[in-house]
Amino acid sequence: MNQKITRRDFAQRSCITGLSSSVLACGLRHSSLAVHANWVDAPKQPYGIMSGEVTHKSAVIWGRSDVDARMLVEWDTEASFKNPRRVQGPKSTTASDWTARCILRDLPPASEIFYRVTFENTGGLSQPILGHLKTPDDGSNDVFFAWSGDTAGQGFGINPDWGGMKIYSAIEKLSPQFFVHSGDMIYADNPIPAELKLNDSSLWKNITTEAKSKPASSLDDFRGNYQYNLMDQNVLAFHRQVPIIASWDDHETTNNWYPQQSLKSRKDRDHYDALEFGSQLASRASQAFFEYNPLLPQPAGDRRVYRKFSRGPLLDLFVLDLRSYRGPNSSNRQSQLNAQSAILGPEQLAWLKNSLQTSTALWKVICSDMPLAIAVGDSMEGKGYYEAVANADDGLPLGRELEMADLLGFMKQAGILNTVW
C-alpha cells in the first residue's frame, strides 16, 4: 500500500540521524545517494542543516561537515523522496570553517519541498539529515510567519535541566512558513558561565564551551558562538523544518558597536587585542555571520545584509542593516543629515525608498534590528549618548531622526501604505 507521508511524519523522521529503518523508509535506499554500511570514516554533520532566502523558485540550503568534503543535496515535493532531484554543492574546506551553502533552483512555487543533505569525500558519504521548506504561492493563501531576536544573551545559554532553548520548539510547533531573526543571533560579547544565580537563589546551569568562555575577538571565537547555539536540540530541530531570514544587530560583533568606534576607548577594551576600530572586529564577525547562516553567497568584500524578499502579492519584507553604515554614537542632536547623523546611510536609504515605491505587495514589512521610538542609551560611550534612532528630545527631528523623518516624509508623499515596522 502506498501511504502518503505527512509533514508531521517527515518532521519526526528528520530528527533521526543514525542509519535505521526509519531513515531507509524515507527513501534513501531508492536514492542516487548510496547507503554506506560503515559510517566511521565518512564526514559528520555536527551542527545540522538550515534553509533560507526562499523565493518562489529557489532556496539556499546550509550545512557543515567536520572535514573537507563535497556537499550534496537532494530534494523532492514528496516526503517519501519518490522522485528526488540531486544538486551538487560546493566543497567544504577550512577556509569557510567547513560550512557550505547550496542553491536549489527551479523549485515549483506553492509547494512543500523536502530535502536531505549529505557530505562526501574519500572516506565515504555522511549520514543524511532531512529538512523541509515551503515556497511562496500566488497570494491565494494567508502568509504566516514568526519573528524574534536575541539568542543566548546575558549569560543564559543551553540548560539541559530546563530543556534547552525551548522557545525554538514552541515556534516550530506553530509551523510558520518562515522565521525572521531580527538580530543578536549570538551574543559574541557575553560569555556563558557554568552557572548563574537567579533571583530566587536557584541556579541556572549552562553547557559551556571554550568559545563562550570570553568575549569573541578572533574569527574562530565568532564561529564558536554560532556553533554553541547549534548544539541545542531544539534549535537543530527548528532549522530542519523552518526556513529563516537572518539579520544582525550589535551582539553579532560587540555591544553598541559602530564602524568608526575606537575599541581602545571602550570599557571592555582589554578583550580586543591589537584591534583598533569597530570595523576591524566587525569584519571577522561578518565573515562568521555569513558562514553560519543560509545566505546567498556574496562577492568578496561585499557582505550586504540589507535585502528584499517577496512572498507574493500579499507580502514583501525589507531587511535593514542599522549597524554597518551608521555614524558614531553621540548625543544624537546633529541638525544636518550627514555621515555623523546617518544610521542607514545614503545608499541603503536610496535602496529602501526605491524598493518600497516599486513594491506591489499589499503589506510591506520592514525588518529593523533597532527600534524607532525607544531612546536607547549607550553605556559603552557615556551618559547622554544614544545607540538607536530616537534622542529623547520631544522637539523637531535631530541626529539620526533626520534620516527617518526623510524616509517617512518620502513614504507619505509617494503614497506608500500598509507598512509594518
Per DSSP, the residues of 103-124 read: EE-SPPTT-EEEEEEEEEETTE
pLDDT averaged over every residue in the chain: 91
Same domain, 146 and 239: yes
Kindly tell me the burial class for residue 252, based on how many C-beta atoms sit within 10 Å of its own C-beta (0-12, 13-18, 19 or more). Answer: buried
Give the pLDDT confidence score for residue 37 in this predicted structure.
Answer: 45
CB 133 within 8 A of CB 239: no
Structural domain includes residue 161? yes
Structural domain includes residue 207? yes
Q: How confident is the model at residue 381 (pLDDT cuts 50, 70, 90)?
A: low
Same domain, 358 and 277: no
Structural domain includes residue 212? yes
Q: Which of 134, 168, 192 is the last residue of a domain?
A: 134
Rounded Cα–Cα distance for residues 70 and 81 (Å): 21
Residue found under cell 564558536? 224
Q: Which of 158, 226, 155, 151 is nearest to 182 (CA)?
A: 151
Same domain, 216 and 118: no
Tell me the three state secondary structure of residue 59.
strand
Rounded Cα–Cα distance for residues 132 and 50 (Å): 9
What's the CA angle centered on 323, arms 177 and 232, to 5 degrees?
Answer: 45
pLDDT at position 295 over 60: yes
Q: Which of 302, 317, 385, 388 is nearest to 347 (CA)?
A: 302
Tell me the CATH number at 22.
2.60.40.10
Same domain, 319 and 298: no
Query: 223-251, pLDDT tens digit by residue?
Result: 999 999 999 999 999 999 999 999 999 99
Structural domain includes residue 1? no
Same domain, 338 and 280: no
Same domain, 250 and 368: no
Same domain, 316 and 234: no
Tell me the CATH number at 293.
3.60.21.70
Q: Which of 345, 392, 389, 351 is nearest to 370 (CA)?
A: 389
Show the domain range for 345: 306-421
Q: Which of 134, 151, 180 is the last residue of a domain?
A: 134
Q: How confident is the model at residue 138 (pLDDT cuts 50, 70, 90)?
A: confident
pLDDT at position 16 over 70: no
Rounded Cα–Cα distance for residues 60 and 291 (Å): 13
- Chain-centroid distance of CA 36 in Å reads 33
Q: For residue 254, give the C-alpha cell.
A: 560587540
Same domain, 209 and 324: no
Torsion-angle region of residue 98: left (phi > 0), alpha (psi -120 to 50) or beta? Answer: left
Give the pLDDT confidence score for residue 275 in this predicted structure.
Answer: 85
Same domain, 286 and 262: yes
pLDDT at position 112 over 50: yes
Structural domain includes residue 2? no
Dihedrals phi, psi of 24, to nearest 5 degrees: -65, -35
Same domain, 322 and 418: yes
What's the CA angle centered on 37, arms 36 and 41, to 5 degrees?
Answer: 70
Q: Which of 389, 416, 413 is nearest to 403 (CA)?
A: 389
Give the pLDDT confidence score for residue 268 in this predicted structure.
Answer: 79
Q: How confident is the model at residue 24 (pLDDT cuts 50, 70, 90)?
A: very low
CB 62 within 8 A of CB 50: yes
User: Domains in the chain: how many in total?
Assistant: 3
CB 215 within 8 A of CB 190: yes
Q: Give strand pairing partners of 64.
A: 99
Q: In this structure, how many other beta carbons lie within 10 angstroms of the beta carbon of residue 1? A: 2
Same domain, 390 and 312: yes
Q: Which of 261, 286, 303 is the last residue of a domain?
A: 303
Q: Give strand pairing partners of 103.
A: 60
Structural domain includes residue 348? yes
Determine what percent of the chain is predicted with pLDDT higher than 70.
90
Structural domain includes residue 172? yes
Helices (H), 73-165: none
Same domain, 244 and 325: no
Report which residue type is found at 305: V
Q: Write down the number of H helices and E strands in the chain.
A: 8, 17
Structural domain includes residue 97? yes
Rounded Cα–Cα distance for residues 60 and 204 (Å): 36
Give the pLDDT confidence score for residue 203 in this predicted structure.
Answer: 97
Mean pLDDT of 288-300: 90
Q: In this structure, how many other beta carbons lie within 10 angstroms of the beta carbon of residue 144? A: 10
